[in-house]
Amino acid sequence: MLVLEEHVAHHRKVGQWYDELLSKVDGIRVHQNPTEIINSNYWLTAITIDHTVFGTDIEVVRQHLESENIECRRLWKPLHLQPVFSNVPSYVNGNSEHLFENGLCLPSGPYVGRNHVEHIVREILSCAIAK
């Protein structure tokens, strides 16, 4: 708890760097949109990729980042799609499936600096297929 404010401030800065570098890339959306009533702690930096615009799907990007020793992961698999919950009623509208199929969590921990974010973004952009 002694470093909580410092860690939250760092995560916010990392999230701002990703947003700055990716927000104008066609087909990529950074999911951190604090408002007057929502104050994000930016603990997780998540993006979604529209493969029809970006030219490459999320799994290609994930595998490429992994091959470059950049730790990332898909967004969480919705509970109703997990085998243990296959017989449980669910009330869905497609949003959770869309996020899982197109979303990626990017590194944002306390040791991620601006140079790391710039490198990660360059690697993501290297996956785009020019149209």
> pLDDT (tens digit, 9 = 90+) per residue, 65-96?
999 999 999 999 999 999 999 899 999 999 99
Comparing 41-45, 91-95, 97-101, which segment has the lowest mean pLDDT? 41-45
Round the average pLDDT of the chain to a whole number and report it: 92
For 59, counting Cβ atoms within 10 Å of its Cβ (0-12 exposed, 13-18 middle, 19+ buried), the class is: middle
Percent of the chain with pLDDT over 90: 79
pLDDT above 80: residue 129: no
pLDDT above 60: residue 1: yes
Tokens of 96: 């959770």
For helices 114-125 and 58-67, what crossing angle results, to 10°? Answer: 130
pLDDT above 80: residue 36: no
Q: Which fold has domain 4-84+94-125?
A: Aspartate Aminotransferase, domain 1 (3.90.1150)
Task: Kindly report the pTM of this predicted structure.
Answer: 0.90
Q: What is the pLDDT of residue 130?
A: 57
Average pLDDT over residues 111-125: 97
